[in-house]
Structure formats: C-alpha cells, structure tokens
Structure 1
C-alpha cells in the first residue's frame, strides 16, 4: 500500500467524519495508518455503516477502457474467478451485475463474452438463456441453418442443444458423454 499521504491530509479527512477505510481508499494509503492517527488524535471510530450487496459490489469494481468493468475484490484461488462474500454467503459478482441490468435473477452461469477476462460490466454479462439466444441469432446472421430437433445420437436439442460463441451448434449431452468417456479412458 502506498504510504505517501500526508498526516495533514489524513487528519483533514478524519475531521470531516470519514472512516479509516474510506480515507485509505481516497488517499491510497493504509487504513491501519489512518487508525493509528485517529487514536493519536483521540477521535472515536465511526460505527460500521453496513453496505448493501450492490454497494459492496460497486466498492470492489473499477471501470476499464472499452466499457469493461474489472473486479478488484476477492477471487477463487485456483481459477481466479471473482467472488464476493456478503452476509455469510458467497456471490458471483457477474450475477450481481446481471441482476442490476435485468432486474431478475440469472439462470445458469453468468459471464461476459466481450474478450476481457472476467469482465463484470452489467452490459457485457449474460446468463445461459441469454447466451443461447445471442449465439443462435449469430448463427442465423452468419448463414447458419436451423438446428435439427435431435442430434445424431438421439438427444433432444430443445433440451441439450447449445451454441458455441461463434454460432456453431453442438449437443451438450454428447459433449458431456465424450468428456466422461475420455476421463474413464485415462483412469484405465
């Protein structure tokens, strides 16, 4: 953390009633340093002002060039996927962005296909039905035909039919079966 904020800058904001965390964010300094100065001045800590889910989401985001939004908060340790804990529960920041844009809870996974890794811009994220609809439209716009009702293995495409990001159709059941067969072959 940058320690270049002056004591006078910190003191001024303390007297304006800002919290240690808010001062740390505004001046890009360590909030513990702010707390030390608060104690030296004999100023009481502010009572916690709980943030709403959306306020906490906004506090952990940063706009990026191109209309993207970057998550600055916690991430899954293995995948790097953004995650937010609130009220003892874990939330997907992308799902919160989706709900902000649409006013409804998402169906399935929510993510952006804009090319910016883990983008959580509300206008960039979509849930599974939205992605299927967009990809199907792309298929038709690029000259693709309507998907057949059943795949060659007999799976109903109304249930299992999906589209790649480029609009190519595939059967999710067949893809799942191929993965399972591959894992079983490796296990032998």
Structure 2
C-alpha cells in the first residue's frame, strides 16, 4: 500500500504529545492519513482513552477557558453544564469553574456552593463569587449597616455630606 507522507504530519507525530485527532485537526489531514503515516513510521499506536494533556495543571486549563471582560469581569468560554454552571473537565474529573476560580482568588477551598454575585453571564471573576462563608459575612455586614443607619438607608457612592435646605 502506498502512503502519502506529509512533512507536517510526520513532524507532529515524531514530536509526540498530540493525539492523532488533534494532528488531523491542526494539519487539515484526514484522520486516516495521520494513522497510516504513524503506522508507516512504525510509531506506537496511542493508548485508548489516554489523550495528552493540553495544559499541565488544572489552573492552566482554567485560564485557557476564560476571557477578560469589561469592568474586571472574567467570562467563561469553556463547557457549561445543563444547569448553566460553567464546568472544567481536567484529567478524569469535572469541577465547577466557580469553585476553581474561588480557590484561585481566595487561596482556600470554598465552603458549600459557590454562587456568582454579579449579573454578568458566565462571569468567573473571583471577586464576583461567594461561598457560604462569604455570604454569611455579607449578611452580617448588611445587618450591621441596617442597625446603624436604618433599614431604609441605602449606601451611596457619594461621600460628600448632605446639603441642607
């Protein structure tokens, strides 16, 4: 059988670290061409179910699935579960991107569910996320504010004293 050997496919096969499907995608060659080239070069067949990792760490995989957005928000560009929660599959696990972002931002594992506190769809900016501990602290701060200023008072961004009539 005659095999059409493409230099770009040979180079990527010999370099290793990429699946045959990824080599086909990058080069535009058919998957069958990549397979036959690998066999022609007498390179070992890839093990079933084991794909080389694109990212060396879960953190690197997380950052690869994000895009900076306006006003310090961070938009998730990766997978989204049927529930609308952004998720990251890394190695053999799937985890909420909210939990990963929370850990990266706060330096600790979250307690309970991590919820977005902003209205930006799929925002995974650490400052926009809260776990049970952060939500409880926010509730205590809100209660203290209400006790001091009354529940009808609303915080303002205006730091100037009120003007009298």
Q: Over alpha carbons, which structure has the higher Rg?
A: 2
Pick aligned residue for 1:59 from 35, 47, 64: 64
Runs of 5+ unmatched residues, structure 1 = 1-10, 25-30, 147-165, 167-188
- Aligned residue pairs total 121
Please give the residue correspondences for 1:168-179 in structure 2 after superposition, counting only pairs within 5 Å. none
Name the CA shift for 1:100/1:123 in 2 (closer, same or farther; >3 Å).
same
Q: Give me the CA root mean square deviation.
A: 3.6
Contact 1:112 1:119 in 2 (8 A): yes
TM-score for both structures, normalised by structure 2: 0.58
Matching residue of 1:108 = 112
Please give the residue correspondences for 1:17-36 in structure 2 after superposition, counting only pairs within 5 Å. 32=25, 34-36=27-29
CA distance in 2, matches of 1:88, 1:20: 18
Runs of 5+ unmatched residues, structure 2 = 1-7, 42-50, 149-153, 155-165
Aligned: 1:98 with 2:102: yes
Name the CA shift for 1:20/1:64 in 2 (closer, same or farther; >3 Å).
farther
TM-score for both structures, normalised by structure 1: 0.51
Quick one: higher RCO (CA 8 Å, sep 6+), 1 or 2?
2
